A and B are shown apart, each in its own frame.
Chain A
Amino acid sequence: MTSKFLEWFDDRWPFRAVIRYSLQEEIPGGDSFWYCFGAVTLFVFVIQVVTGIWQLFYYVPTVDHAYQSVMYLRQEVPFGWFIHGLHYWGSNAFIVIVIIHILRVFIWGAYKYPRQLTWLAGVILFFLVMALSFTGALLPWDELGYWAAEVGTSIAGTVPVIGFFIKEFMRGQADMSQATLSRFFIAHVAILPGILAALIAFHVVAFRQFRSVGPWNREKRKKTGFFWPNQVLKDIIVVSGLFILLVALVVFWRAPVTGPADPVDNSIVPKPEWQFLFLYQFLKLFKGRWEPVGTVGVPLALFLILFLLPFYDRNRQRNPLRRPLAMLGCFALLGWFVVYTILGYYSNPGANLTAKVSVSAQASESVKAGAALFSSQGCVACHTINGQGGDVGPNLSREGSKGLSDEWLTQQIRDPKSHDKSTAMPAFGSLSDKQVNNLVDFLKSLGGSEDSSQSSGSSKQTFQNTKSSQPAKPTAEPNESSSKTVNLSDKPRYSIVGDFSRVGPAAYFVGNPPHGGKLYDKQCAQCHGKDGKGGVSNPGSLSGEIPPLNPVSKSLFSNNPVTFAENIDRIIQHGSIPPGPNPEQTMPAFGDNLKLTQQMIAEIEAYVLKLNNVDRAEIMYAGVRPYTFFAITIIVYSAAIFIIIFMWYRGKGGEPAPAESVRAEQSGKPEPTDKEIQSRTEMLVSRTEYGDVDESEPEQTAPELQSEQNQSLNRVVFALVVIIVIVVIATGVLLIFSSFVTTKPVPSETTRKITSGQTDSSGEQEGQSQQKDSNTSSGNDTQAGVQREKQE
């Protein structure tokens, strides 16, 4: 039946010829695990295509809903966490594997005649993959992607002469906007993958034609192996290993939640993703008018070095030991990449801003206030004091000994251009006279003779810019004129100012808790206490104290992150007045008064939720919980491996294979006709031009071949056993690691890494949900906007 259908089909479309062309290949020197990376790259490409298309079921490319649609996919679509995570980790794996593939090809000398075009296509593919990772990062319209695209397009803008045009062409407008998102979207989902697919076809056809390059040793090349099924088995073993690894990454290291993009928020310290870190770090070496060399020259040079390789390296020698110069160049380039990536990873762009400025405890109040201002106003980013700070402006460590007058310093702070027209220092006109006086007092205390206690050093007090950046005026805008006051709950406690029923957009943005903590320290900590612990008095109110947020009032708490966020969002948006005769402090309406953007409010809400052990980015409809899915993956693969080992032992015993399977094989692939063999031979003839293809059949007799092949089979089984052992060990390590993450307390420090969302592993959530289950005190669960779905 199937064979008849196949025949009918084959007469009308060259099905068998295509299958044969894609599967029948002799590999000089035999099959090898070294040759897997091309196939693995193809597998990752397929994963990216499928997960990418699937995300489009839920993703919308608009600036007002892109982020929410991605978070909806990740939190509320069954297996959305898996599909999104696979795409995220797949994109990282793609680059790693392509780099390994390029290295392998380079070391084997596989870019030499007649494979130059294969190499050229490969280099373009590599840069396309980089372009895909750049454009894809913007699509969620989150902090990380937004700033990466903002800086990336600005870098394109540094191209001499046409840079301005390129930048605006990429953005579609002068600023980052909907036009930018649309352009990046269409490039990421249609144009770049289309070119990528076409070039992959080009690449693979060229590869099939000229075959694997084989070992450089001519003797070893005489022995041949087969692509089907021998090499395919090795490919699929590596592919399976990679798939298990990807599942583990998705389950144990969730893709970061970096919060909604907020162009207004200046507390973001953008840093590129790891694959661009080396360029970012190397760029720092080029200053002033040399900057375009770093921004454009270096990537262009990199591209040309790789692209033109077959043309300047015309040496036909393939043995790496006889190509010392090429190997040296290759590993120098690789070393440069690795070193600068590591340097970039550990570099801290915000370091200057958080540098500590020390003053002695005995210093006067005004000096202390000045020191705090020196940090909070960002002076320390440019000026160094006692070895801490930036090097853009003059070192101020001994400013007090220079004999500058108060008036001169005041003038310098108020209007620096009046002293030096070319200065880069901004005018600090917004500071009050008192603040400027404090700063001047502080500056004059530095290294001056009057500062005798400076050297004592024993009781130094440190100020950080995270503290007291805002003068402590919590009652900024009490908003007494507001007409409506609505009760918060059945038990009237706090009056909400403004329209209570209106939940702001912030409640539906998933914020990034560490960044929220940073904003919290700036905006909320003065009243609600560090880490939300409270303890700040509020005379005239009923409780006499500003309510703490950790733990938050039971009437606001909910296990459901959306409900919880809605509850606190009303208060943050519209403000509230505590009950009591005459409360001194009232909650300002941060949203209504535009004191904070909706994105900032969302970040703070995520932080407050985290203080109460609720994860704003919790997976609400998992389909299957991540851990369970990982366990299923391991079980399924273990079963498959045991079946194979069982089959192998059975085959070793000498039992003949069942006849059906043999017939099934035959029906799919009958003997080729003479014409087909001839065309195939012609193809092979054309391949032999280079002379690395030995046309004659293998000379070995059957038993020799058999023992050799059995040996390679032993290696395959050995590899499978190694995979089992590695998987078991890796699982153990991952479980230990995740339990370590679970028991970690909520971070009180607000030092934030751009990728800190990764630590929000699902292990943490499960631990939290257990805690929540035991904490049954919540009285607000009936409001749950979205019901939880436990395991199905």
Chain B
Amino acid sequence: MCGTENEHKGSCPNGRCGGGSLSDRRTFIKRAVGVLSAPLFALMAWPFVQSIIGTIFRLPKARYAKVGPLKEFPSDKPISPKFKYASGNEYFHSEELYNIWVIKHSDTEVTVFSPICPHLGCQYDWYPQAEKFICPCHGSFYSIEGKVLGGPAPRGLDTLPWKIENGELYVEWERFRVGTPRKIRIG
């Protein structure tokens, strides 16, 4: 039975068979198979893993998008305009529609909030009677300044970068991680 799978039991008690090095030889070949397979798996696994996790944390370049003429916005009252944003998202160079919350303080000063609740990512709304932003999902309350008044929200509303040129409001669309006390940009 020398040279077969079962040589080590019974007929070859020392793990050696006949002339002595036959089982060594088998062991050597098996190890050689292992040593040669290892690089194959390693060199294949590395690119394949990195290719699907390497793009996750890449931040797209933010660009300003035109929202509209500032003079059409009411003063000190939150409104939610929609605007087109040319997202350079991967290979889709398409324009998508987003909305934001804008509060105009003066002709040169505004506050722009991301419409995404920093708790778990719902869309909150402005309740004029209560004079609060209220998120319907889990009941987070925010003041008109964006401060947390109640509910589970870990931080206040996220502001977005903006600029005013020739009376037009421009906004940079950014996204932030939800559920964390710190404001971390993710997109």
Residues in chain A within 8 A of chain B (CB atoms): 20, 24, 50, 54, 57-58, 65, 68-69, 71-72, 76-80, 82-83, 226, 228-230, 232-233, 236-237, 239-240, 243, 247, 505, 508, 621, 623, 629, 632-633, 636-637, 639-640, 643-644, 647-648, 651, 654-657, 659, 661-662, 665-666, 669, 671, 698, 701-703, 705-706, 709-710, 713, 716, 785-787
Contact = CB atoms under 8 A, between A and B. Distances in A.
B27 A662 contact: yes
Contact of B15 (A78, A226, A657): A657
A769 B42 CA distance: 30
A702 B4 CA distance: 12
Nearest to A23: B5
A662 B51 contact: no
Interface of B: 2-6, 8-9, 14-33, 35-40, 42-44, 46-48, 50-52, 54-55, 58, 61, 88, 90-93
A239 B41 CA distance: 12
Contacts of B2: 702, 705
A716 B32 CA distance: 10
Given A80-B51, A240-B39, 19 more contacts: A77-B51, A78-B55, A79-B51, A226-B3, A230-B29, A236-B33, A633-B39, A639-B39, A647-B32, A654-B20, A655-B24, A656-B20, A669-B5, A703-B18, A705-B22, A706-B18, A709-B22, A716-B29, A786-B61
Nearest to A51: B48
A665 B55 contact: no
Contacts of B91: 65, 68-69, 71-72, 508
B83 to A, nearest CB: 15
Contacts of B47: 78-79, 82-83, 623, 629
Contacts of B22: 702, 705-706, 709
B165 to A, nearest CB: 13
Contacts of A229: 26, 29-30, 33
B32 A54 contact: no
A240 B36 contact: yes
B166 to A, nearest CB: 14
A236 B28 CA distance: 14
Contacts of A82: 47, 51
Given A229-B33, A644-B32, A654 B21 contact: yes
> Among B17, B33, B37, B91, which residue has the most Cβ atoms of chain A within 10 A?
B91
Nearest to B58: A621
A230 B43 CA distance: 24
B54 A79 contact: yes
A665 B27 CA distance: 9
B36 A644 contact: yes
Nearest to B3: A705
A661 B31 contact: yes
A58 to B, nearest CB: 8
Contacts of A54: 48, 51-52
Contacts of A247: 43
Nearest to B22: A706
A69 B93 CA distance: 11
Nearest to B36: A236
Contact of B51 (A78, A240, A640): A78
Contacts of A655: 24
Given A83-B48, A647-B32, A703-B18, A243 B5 contact: no
B51 A623 contact: yes
B141 to A, nearest CB: 39
Contacts of B33: 229, 232-233, 236
A654 B47 CA distance: 41
Contacts of B18: 701-703, 706
13 contacts: A24-B5, A79-B50, A82-B51, A236-B40, A633-B39, A640-B36, A643-B35, A657-B24, A665-B8, A671-B6, A713-B28, A713-B29, A716-B32
B48 A633 contact: no
B25 A240 contact: no
A57 B27 CA distance: 41
A656 B15 contact: yes
A239 B32 contact: no
B93 A508 contact: yes
A713 B25 contact: yes
Contacts of A633: 39, 43
Given A508-B91, A703-B18, A709 B32 contact: no
Contacts of B4: 226
Nearest to A713: B25
Given A68-B91, A665-B8, A240 B24 contact: no
A644 to B, nearest CB: 5
A243 B44 CA distance: 10
Nearest to A662: B15
Contacts of A72: 90-91
A236 B55 contact: no
B15 A651 contact: no
Contact of B52 (A57, A662, A716): A57
Contacts of B20: 654, 656
B84 to A, nearest CB: 12
> Among A621, A648, A661, which residue has the most Cβ atoms of chain B within 10 A?
A661
A674 to B, nearest CB: 13
B27 A78 contact: no
B48 A50 contact: yes
Contacts of A659: 15
A651 B54 contact: no
Instruction: Across the A-B interface, give the 9 residue pairs with the lowest CB-CB distance, nearest first.
Output: A702-B18, A78-B54, A79-B47, A68-B91, A72-B91, A657-B27, A662-B15, A79-B51, A636-B39
B35 A83 contact: no
Nearest to B32: A644
A713 B32 CA distance: 11
Contacts of A716: 29, 32
Contacts of A661: 27, 31
Contacts of B32: 233, 644, 647, 716
Given A83-B51, A232-B33, A640-B38, A50 B44 contact: yes
> Among A83, A230, A657, A671, which residue has the most Cβ atoms of chain B within 10 A?
A657
